[in-house]
Amino acid sequence: MSEPLTRLSDEEALFADTVRQFASEVVAPRAHAMDAAGRLDPEIPARCFELGLMGIEIPEELGGAGASFFMACLAVEELSRADPSVGVFVDVQNTLFNNCLLRWGTDAQKQKYAPRMAADTVGAYALSEATSGSDAFGLNARAEKRSDRYVLSGSKMWITNGAEAGVYVVFATIDPTAGYKGITAFLVEREFPGFAVGKKEDKLGIRASSTTELLLENCEVPEENVLGEPGKGYKVAIETLNEGRIGIGAQMIGCARGALEASVGYAREREAFGKPIAEFQGIQFELAQMATELEAARLMVYNAARLKDAGLPFLKEAAMAKLYSSQVAERVTSHAVEIYGGYGYTKDYPVEKLWRDAKIGKIYEGTSNMQLATIAKALLG
């Protein structure tokens, strides 16, 4: 397949090639087994740290790669082409946790946590609860100030990287009567007293990516671990999620790209009526439509990422990119299953898994309806 029309710099192209090679040689051969087991192969996180994929935007002086948000999205796309579970593992680390730490953390917090995130510690982002989905700020988790610390109580649900993480950005309210103005973000370490990882969800897709419950039972968090300022958690969360949605867009175009590439290869090999099915116009048109929609989605994701790096407004573009890329991923992977025919419905071929993996794109980090609402508000002022 051709490279995207959006021009990559030499550095970006080399980086994408390196991640693509890792994804093809290390991730792809393990994808089926990881999906069946419902967990990442231990070698995958270790290799991701070794390659510098867990601290892409972290400055070099703090142990990271000192690269751009766009390059983080390139990594997520290339990894998701092989396994969207690995794509989102790296995505949450970079576009949510690290992004949040670098933007809102104090110098002391950055000095303490950024080198760990780049070297060997997985991060997670804990906003959702059992009763707060799209209304993510109807939080029940509470934080009570006691002397030089806060005591957190409650639970969190649907936390990506929950099983592997060593540090979590956790949102709780310090004043329920203040509404969203009471929400506060905390850096919570796994070893803090009163913190525990709960149930791991048994999911339809991205099964190797851990999605867990978090339990806060009088969890003690030092005052210096407030991220941002007390009562500013709403702003911390919403601005981080606006950026994270571009990362999910990258995951979705990677997922669709893996399905399209597999379909092209299969169409060239599979014969019917004495010739490869790629010679039938019906198959050709289907592949052409899949490729066209994928290219459009890729350009939308790349544009949103470039805008973010340039410091330009990107809220509407990020919502559009996530909305459309998730729609395209669902369509492209579904068509891929059909091109494979009966084989596509079995677990012996990759497209069945990619089809299941694609569904989450319309749900997490803001449902499709929430993206439509964001786009409409931007259009109507």
Residue 95: give its domain's CATH number: 1.10.540.10
Q: Which of 177, 224, 228, 168 is nearest to 197 (CA)?
A: 168
* Per-residue pLDDT at 341: 97
Q: Are residues 269 and 373 in the same domain?
A: yes
- What is the per-residue DSSP string for 95-116? IIIIHHHHHH--HHHHHHHHHH
* Per-residue pLDDT at 132: 83
* Per-residue pLDDT at 5: 47
Global pTM reads 0.96
Q: Are residues 83 and 133 in the same domain?
A: no
Q: Of the candidates 178, 204, 231, which is a domain's last residue?
A: 231
* Per-residue pLDDT at 6: 63
Q: What angle do CA 71, 77, 83 make, to 5 degrees?
A: 135
Instruction: Split the chain (381 residues) into runs of 10 and give each run's mean pLDDT.
Output: 66 97 98 98 98 98 98 98 98 98 98 98 96 82 97 97 98 93 97 98 98 98 97 94 97 98 98 98 98 98 98 97 98 98 97 98 96 97 88
Q: Are residues 52 and 62 in the same domain?
A: yes
Cα 282 off chain centre by: 34
| Residue 295 bridge partners (DSSP) | none
Choose, from 164, 317, 330, 365, the residue flagged as catalytic. 365
Q: Give the Cα separation of 371 and 17 in Å (integer).
A: 31
Q: Are residues 70 and 169 in the same domain?
A: no
* Per-residue pLDDT at 138: 83
Q: Give the Cα separation of 252 and 330 in Å (integer).
A: 9
Q: Give the Cα separation of 211 and 201 in Å (integer).
A: 6
* Per-residue pLDDT at 39: 98
* Per-residue pLDDT at 131: 86
Q: How many residues does the chain have?
A: 381
Q: Are residues 215 and 351 in the same domain?
A: no
Q: Give the Cα separation of 106 and 240 in Å (integer).
A: 16
- Decide if 3 is inside a domain: no
Q: What CATH number should be reported for the domain holding residue 168? A: 2.40.110.10
Q: Is 352 a catalytic residue?
A: no
Query: 216: number of CA atoms within 13 Å, CB side?
Result: 27
| CB neighbour burial string for 261-275, b if at least 16 within 10 angstroms, e if fewer | ebbbebbeeeeeeee
- Decide if 1 is inside a domain: no
| Unique residue bearing structure tokens 């068509």 | 335
Q: Are residues 198 and 272 in the same domain?
A: no
- Decide if 225 is inside a domain: yes
Question: What is the domain range of residue 15?
Answer: 10-122
* Per-residue pLDDT at 137: 74
